[in-house]
Amino acid sequence: MAIKRSYSDGCAAAHALDLVGERWALLIVRELLLGPKRFTDLRAGLAGISPNVLTQRLGELESAFVLRRRRLPPPASAWAYELTDWGRELEPPILELVRWGLRSPAFIRGAPLGIDPLVLSFKALADPQALAGCELRLQMRFDTQVFSVQASGGALNVRRGEDQHAQVSVASDTQTMLRLAYGKGSLQEALRAGTISLSGDAAVLQGFFDLFLLPGPGVGPHTGSDPV
């Protein structure tokens, strides 16, 4: 494959950046980690990207075998983009970037967050100690998008789609869920305000929110590190 721009460095990390280091490339991968998306869905999840740039990046990632284009089965019957098996191996480094970026003293916590980034953040930021011995299943709905979340065996698994065995189903918006999971907002207050609705066991949903404990900044005067 001919790479348009290259670091011309024999390091495999440099080659990886040749493939996915262009602006928007890793965010496109992020948008596909939970399943295939059409071009219009990708644009909706990537505020600020132009159609031309998106088309270019998709072509580059397809040429690099990071993603592929395929026709979705009926009733959709539309063309969509999905990660290859090799492309899906980018999930751990992307989740690690979430954890690393969160600890930046310049990161603005509570800023508006898209649906897929929020759902993926649950995988990245669940506390391993809180996950140990935790068993729960829930379904989340944001507008027309539905996700299934399951904590089991010390891991948190997330996928796009419904879960007929969910203990609780919740419908809300991303900012409300952001505050409840990471800002430790009150579930009861959100229910009274009507910003969240649920059916099933509310204690399961609260148990889910209790899985998250955010770390402090990684650099700064209180960490013993020089931020310069």
Among 112, 94, 77, smallest CA distance to 34 is for: 94
Average pLDDT, the chain: 92
Q: Is the peptide bond before 75 cis (omega within 30 degrees of 0)?
A: yes
pLDDT at 74: 82
Cα–Cα distance between 116 and 17 in angstroms, integer?
Answer: 23
pLDDT of 61-95, one tens digit each? 999 999 999 998 888 778 999 999 999 999 999 99
Domains annotated on the chain, with CATH = 12-89 (1.10.10.10), 113-209 (3.30.1050.10)
Which tokens hold the place of 125?
Answer: 């930021």
71: helix, strand or coil: strand
Cα–Cα distance between 100 and 88 in angstroms, integer?
Answer: 20
Give the global pTM.
0.90
Q: Which residues of the chain have a pLDDT value below 70?
A: 1-4, 220-228
Which tokens hold the place of 115?
Answer: 């649906």
